[in-house]
Amino acid sequence: MGSLTPRHGGGRHKVVCLDNFPCPVPKFAFPHEYVEYQNTMGEDLIIERARDATIIITSRVPVSAYTVAACPRLELVAFMTTGTDIADKKACRARGIAVCNAPGANAESVAEHAFALYLAAKRQVVGLHRVTLEAEAWPMENYVFHLYPQLPRGLRHEVLGIIGYGAIGRNAEAIGKALGMSVLIAERKSVAPDQVRVGRVPFEEVIKTCTVLILGCPLDDESRNMISEPELRNMRPDSIVVNVARGGIMNEAALLKALKEKWIYAAATDVFVNEPATKEGCQLLRECPPNLTLSPHVAWYGGTCLENLQLRIKETIESYVAGKVINSVL
């Protein structure tokens, strides 16, 4: 993607890792100065640490237009993640700075976690855990069936809708088909019905038809608040929504209303608009209804993901230094 080319002006590269959160950064096979931080919080500190960098590595530390302007030597922002929504790509593009990610590194882990959340929500696993642990209502005359607002549907009767057909979406499709589910791949929301690509289904049709909806698309201007009150009202009342993409793709206030008013059966999310999510800053945590299942942005965590992240960051940066931009998101 994009037409950026390496433009190093000579001398040794200075590589600054602003947060080594996911896993250790591998060694690079070119002359360079390397500085690593466990985390970097606050724009002033980001600029202080990155000011002389030609290459920045980040996972959770944002790269704003202000940071870009304050780093005159910066040439490459390399993400040890798939998502890059915390970088100001417009500012980077204007300066000719490459922005690259680790495509597909987390796909297997995220897709598996999506199905774990779906099954937990459908089978009321969290509620059953609590009941079992506290020995509540075991006698047959007052058994735990009250935890199920509807009879759980068998896998072969589910219609899985997937929004975002990148590596995560393709992995989710393979799992869904292996489980016997019918699978619908949603076209982009902005695409007219008569322009839908082969193999895709119009966005609105997927929303209205699916019994399980998995969100696996990146967060950008088109996808922000993509699933909000109109979409949730149009879904089946027996459907389950699972978000393993980014928090801003699903409107949190609308989701909470949909769950409380039973527009949908259940939901599960691994991601939040503001992270780390706290009860003070997140309405979903403060008011969490029993038909909402949560996990703290851990869907990516897995052996294959960590191995892939190290491989991708090494390939991306060494290719850039050698004169070729790969894994560009611009």
Catalytic residue among 32, 43, 297, 318: 297
Q: Is the dihedral of CA 175, 179, 184, 186 positive or negative?
A: negative
Q: What is the number of other CB atoms lying within 10 angstroms of the CB of residue 322? A: 10
SS3 313: helix
Residue 214: its H or E element: strand 212-215
Residue 76: its H or E element: strand 76-79
SS3 320: helix
- Give the C-alpha separation, 74 to 50, whole Å: 8
Name the residue among 32, 156, 116, 14 with its Cα closest to residue 75.
14
Residue 158 among the catalytic residues:
no
Residue 109: C-alpha distances to residues 22, 171, 294, 295, 299 (Å): 14, 9, 17, 14, 6
Catalytic residue among 13, 60, 113, 246: 246
Residue 246 among the catalytic residues:
yes
Residue 200 among the catalytic residues:
no
Catalytic residue among 112, 229, 275, 315: 275
Alpha helix segments (H runs only) across the chain:
43-50, 65-69, 89-95, 107-123, 125-134, 167-178, 203-209, 229-234, 252-260, 283-286, 303-322
Catalytic residues: 246, 275, 297
